[in-house]
Amino acid sequence: MKYFIMILQIGILFLFNFIGQLIQGFFSLSIPGSLIGMLLLFSLLFFKIIPLTWMQAGVDFLLKDIPFFFIPVTIGIIQYLTFFYGKGSLTILLVIVSTFIVIGVSGIVTNFILKKEVKSYD
């Protein structure tokens, strides 16, 4: 019974993904359909149209092993190994440097605002 409910809940996730894709296609949006589906599910949870308990078990089951599901896509790198031999190797550096800048900028900005908020409460 427990597994039956979980399969049903995962089925609902597929349904929301499908609806999201329909919306994306219909309005030809450049935002992924899956994300539209997520925002849709979030709004239904937020306005208590769908209670959290309806989704919980299946979602937690999937989220626990999230990395498993993007292993096949990542293995696809095998087709592009030669890309990283040449100039492509620069992209590794680019991604790392950009990541460091993002940590710095978002951290400094948030830290600054939070400190200011604390002061204004004094």
Partner 1 sequence: MTNFFIGITAIAGTFILYRLSKRIYRRKPSPFTMPIFLCTASMVIFLSLTGISYETYMIGGQWIDLFLGPIVVSLAVPLYREIHLIKKYAGAIGIGIFAGSLTGVFTGIAGAKLLGFDDWLIQTVAAKSVTAPIAISITDTAGGNISLIAVFVMLAGVSGAMFGPVILKICRIEHPIAKGLSIGTASHAIGTAKVLEDSEMEGAISALSMTLSAVVVSFLVPIFLLLFITS
**Are the C-beta atoms of residues 38 and 89 closer than 8 Å to each other?**
no
Measured at the alpha carbon of residue 104, what is the angle toward residues 101 and 111, in degrees to the nearest 5? 155
Q: Distance between CA 27 and CA 51 in Å, rounded?
A: 29
CB of 66 to partner 1, least distance (A): 6
Measured at the alpha carbon of residue 101, what is the angle toward residues 97 and 107, in degrees to the nearest 5? 145
CB of 45 to partner 1, least distance (A): 4
CB of 3 to partner 1, least distance (A): 16
Q: Distance between CA 19 and CA 41 in Å, rounded?
A: 11
